Copies of this chain bind each other. A is one copy, B any other.
Amino acid sequence: MLPLNDVVSRTENEISSKTVTTNQKEKKTKQKLQLKAPTQERSKQTVNTLIQSCTDLLRKEGFFGVTTDKVAKSAGISIGSLYQFFGNKESVVSAVIQHALEGDMQLFENKIKEFSLGQEKNKKTYVVKTLIEIFENDLELKTKMLPIQNYLLEPTWINQYIQFFVKNISTFLSTDNEQISEVKINIFVSSFLGLIQNLIQQNKKISDEKDYLNYVISLYSQFI
């Protein structure tokens, strides 16, 4: 299992490395332009403030309601400063989505740690319930992210997100007597994430509907 600070430091590295290494490629494919690496502490703070403002805007108004002008204004940062770090709206929104998904991963790490210290017996049900909690966390934002995240993020990024859960769940469920198959857990995580995404698209929330919740726990707890 990755230690928590790996996730955190990866977040920071990605912000800076992305600007340097993938700028060229993104320009060609998705018109995301992130121009300057925020190496100094103050630059990092500016980037974080912009991401936070854009998160709020995306949650409230959706992708088509976001403009770089609005993001800069509500962050209290000049539009010139915004363009020092992000070449366009796609670039800011892409950083917002990554930040939110990194939040999911961090939350999962914490939940797994909490369990180790706790008393609960059934690890499998715990995994299913925790995944529902995490994938449905900040549902308003997730609803707005869903139509654009496959479009704006590189496929490798989404794969890393899925693999993070696969590796951590495999480790969590494995015992001295039983090594859990990663192929099996990949089917589990890919199905589960896909389910939640398709339900979000249908405006359904598992945790609100007892019928849905029961079927989901029955389908998934027995499998892993």
Interface residues, chain A, CB within 8 Å of chain B? 28-30, 64, 146-148, 150-151, 155, 158-159, 162, 181, 183-184, 186-188, 190-199, 201-202, 209, 211-212, 215-216, 218-219, 222-223
Q: Are A216 and B187 in contact (CB under 8 A)?
A: yes
Tell me the bound Cα distance from A211 to B186 in angstroms: 11
Among A158, A192, A201, find the residue whose CB has the most chain B CB atoms closer than 10 A.
A201
Q: Are B162 and A198 in contact (CB under 8 A)?
A: yes
Contacts of A194 in B (CB 8 A): 190-198
Q: Are B190 and A159 in contact (CB under 8 A)?
A: no
Given contacts A190-B199, A222-B222, 8 further A-B contacts (CB under 8 A): A30-B64, A151-B151, A155-B202, A162-B202, A181-B211, A183-B211, A191-B195, A194-B197
Q: Are A187 and B219 in contact (CB under 8 A)?
A: yes
Contacts of A151 in B (CB 8 A): 147-148, 150-151
Tell me the bound Cα distance from A199 to B194 in angstroms: 10
Tell me the bound Cα distance from A192 to B202 in angstroms: 15
Closest residue of chain B to A202, judged by CB?
B159
Tell me the bound Cα distance from A30 to B159 in angstroms: 27
Tell me the bound Cα distance from A29 to B147 in angstroms: 12
Closest residue of chain B to A182, judged by CB?
B211
Closest residue of chain B to A31, judged by CB?
B64
Q: Are B199 and A195 in contact (CB under 8 A)?
A: no
Q: Shortest CB–CB separation between residue A143 and chain B, in angstroms?
A: 9
Nearest 4 interchain pairs by C-beta: A194-B194, A190-B198, A191-B195, A151-B151
